[in-house]
Chain A
Amino acid sequence: MKYLDEFRDPVLAKKIVAEINATVTRPWVIMEICGGQTHSIIRNGIDQVLAKEIELVHGPGCPVCVTPLEIIDKAIEIASRPDVIFTSFGDMLRVPGSKKDLFMVKSEGGDVRTVYSPLEAVEIARNNPDKEVVFFAVGFETTAPGNSMAIYTAAKERLTNFSELVSHVLVPPAMEALLSSPDNRVQGYLAAGHVCTVMGLEEYIPIAQKYHVPIVATGFEPIDILEGILLVVKQLEEGRCDVENQYLRSVKLKGNIPAQNIIQKVYKVTNRKWRGIGEIPRSGLSIREEYIDFDAEKKFSVGDINTMESDLCISGEILQGLKKPHECPAFGKECTPTHPLGATMVSAEGACAAYYKYQRLR
């Protein structure tokens, strides 16, 4: 119980762990969707204090990890143009493309800037009317409110030198794709609390019913995660498959309506390819016709892109919960956070990076 002592509230943590372990009678496989939760689970050793019947598998919930290689290569190509200021969240800079990453574009003299908010990219466009300012709009439903607001604001101000390279992904369709795969092992889900904060809980109800899996919206702190696991295990043991909300302090049934409104105004649902997984129907967002002038893919005709994935990397199987990072032959050898071969080693929220950082070798 060494890890539990480091919790904010070790007494409560021990109590919840004891309750989980007293509830479980059979083996169950539970997937946490979100990379932030994966990180917290490994960092706090949550997987190691639970009864051996409970296996936690790590889901595809890291946008850095699932952004397709073609899009990274497109970003690199656009960022290399002399008239472009390319802006991005910092964690995309080191994601390896086929030949290089955005960081290398920057060191070769490209104007690549990290921003903390997409509105900073709009500000850069305001201040540099003679340059094309492109923002790399990646992420799940959590960054979509901001990224759509950036286009909405730019359109209002007629900032025609602003555009977005959009590679937005949606969580529920991916959850459903994993469940419908013949290889599926997942029996219960911890849904990502912040995605639910934006989108609400209603879209999970049909998934829970159709595939008979409990889905619990869960926060990010160790105590949240333990409570989420307890709610899932109780449902599994009782044969229920409900949508429940552990993260009450932030998640409302209907989600954040003003945020959903702007997302819908600017973006539309589209099929999207997930790195390592493949195309998932209706699992992404792209820019609507009305805002097409702000679509970097339309603005910059990027020629044929031939992508090249490392053939050692098994991140696809890891993102589907089929394998763990230490089962990859390259893990910790050819592939480390300083020399990542796959995206799951780049992002702090990637499972390989978390396993490496906390030396989880078994």
Chain B
Amino acid sequence: MCLGIPGKVIEIFDENGLKMGKIDYSGSINKACLEYVPEIEIGQYTVVHAGFGISILDEEEAKKSLKIWEEFADSAAQEGVDILGNPLDEDQ
């Protein structure tokens, strides 16, 4: 639960009155709530904790750090789950 994962915002929408986004984490796409990063725009990177964006990352820095998350995704794949811990065979 404590893994804060950096991801790129690829879509922003409203859901039940909350600002939400689709986030791309090195290939796995999932939803996150963006209420705490109200000024974030599509294309920017955010650190997501348990489904909530908690900061807007500096883009250069975020890109540098993505490689390590790809490694995480690879090692997670060996255990049969994606970077978020979801089983890989369950298409989302």
How distant is the Cα of A139 from the Cα of B3 in the complex, in angstroms?
11
Is B4 within 8 A of A221, CB to CB? no
| Chain A residues positioned under 8 Å from B54 (CB to CB) | 142, 145, 194, 197-198, 256, 259
Question: With A194-B2, A349-B2 as given contacts, are A117 and B38 in contact (CB-CB < 8 Å)?
Answer: no
Q: Among the listed A62, A149, A156, A258, which residue makes an inter-chain contact with B2, where contact means beta carbons less than 8 Å apart?
A: A62
A146-B52, A250-B55, A259-B54 known; A91 and B47 CB under 8 Å?
A: no
1/0 per position for B58-83, CB-CB distance to A under 8 A? 10011011011001000000000000
A36-B3, A63-B2 known; A249+B50 contact, CB < 8 A: no
Residue contact A149 to B52, C-beta cutoff 8 Å: yes
Collect the chain B residues with CB atoms within 8 Å of residue A120's CB: 51
Max chain B C-beta neighbours (<10 A), residue from A8, A197, A250: A250
Contact partner, A143, options B16, B50, B57, Cβ 8 Å: B50
Q: Answer yes or no: A89 CB below 8 A from chain B CBs.
A: yes
| Smallest CB gap from B84: residue in A | A116
Per-residue CB contact flags for chain B residues 1-44 toward chain A (1 = under 8 Å, else 0) read 11110000000000011100000000000111101111000000
Across the interface, do A90 and B85 meet the contact criterion of CB distance under 8 Å? yes
Q: In the complex, what residues of A have CB within 8 A of residue B4's CB?
A: 36, 142, 193-194, 197, 220
Question: For residue A224, which residue of chain B has the nearest CB?
Answer: B65
A276 on the B face (CB < 8 A): no
- Residue of A194, A222, A258 touching B47 (CB-CB under 8 A): A194
Asked whether A256 lies within 8 Å of B16 as measured between CB atoms, the reply is no
Complex CA–CA separation, A197 to B38 (angstroms): 15
- B2 and A145 within 8 A (CB): no
Query: Would you call A139 and B1 a contact (CB within 8 A)?
Result: yes
Chain A 105-145 against B: per-residue CB contact (8 Å), 1 yes, 0 no?
00000000000111110000000000000000011101101
Give the distance to chain A from B17, nearest Cβ to Cβ, in Å.
8
| One of A63, A193, A258 near B38 (C-beta < 8 A) | A258
> When chains A and B are docked, how far (Å) is the Cα of A157 from the Cα of B17?
10
User: A146 and B50: CB pair below 8 A?
Assistant: yes
Residues of B within 8 A of A233 (CB): none
Contact A63 B1 (CB under 8 A): yes
Contact-residue size bin, chain A (C-beta under 8 Å from the other chain): 35 or more
CA distance A157 to B38 in the complex (A): 21
The answer to whether the Cβ of A359 comes within 8 Å of any Cβ in the partner chain is no
The range of chain B's interface size is: 20 to 34
Considering the chains assembled together, what is the distance between the CA atoms of A91 and B32 in angstroms? Answer: 19
* Closest A residue to B36 using CB positions: A259
A136 to chain B, nearest CB (A): 10
CA distance in complex: A146, B52 (Å)? 6
Q: Is the CB of B50 within 8 A of A116?
A: yes
The docked-state distance in angstroms from the alpha carbon of A197 to that of B37 is 12
A35 interface contact, C-beta 8 A: yes
Task: Please determine whether B65 and A119 come into contact, CB atoms closer than 8 angstroms.
Answer: no
Nearest residue (CB) in B for A222 is B68
B50 touches A89 (CB 8 A): yes
Q: Which residues of B contact A160 (CB under 8 A)?
A: none
- The CA-CA distance from A149 to B51 in the complex, in Å, is 11
Query: How far, in Å, is A43 (CB) from chain B's closest CB?
Result: 9
**Across-interface contacts of B68 in A (CB, < 8 A):** 8, 221-222
21 contacts between A and B (CB under 8 A): A89-B1, A116-B51, A116-B85, A117-B51, A117-B52, A119-B51, A138-B1, A146-B51, A156-B17, A193-B4, A197-B54, A249-B57, A249-B58, A249-B62, A249-B65, A250-B55, A250-B57, A252-B55, A256-B36, A259-B52, A262-B35
Given A36-B3, A117-B52, 15 more contacts at CB 8 Å? A8-B64, A116-B85, A138-B1, A142-B2, A142-B49, A143-B1, A149-B35, A197-B54, A221-B65, A249-B65, A258-B38, A259-B36, A259-B52, A262-B35, A262-B36
3 nearest A-B residue pairs (beta carbon): A117-B51, A249-B61, A146-B52
A→B interface (CB under 8 Å): 8, 34-36, 61-64, 89-92, 116-120, 138-140, 142-143, 145-147, 149, 153, 156-157, 193-194, 197-198, 220-222, 248-252, 256, 258-259, 262, 349
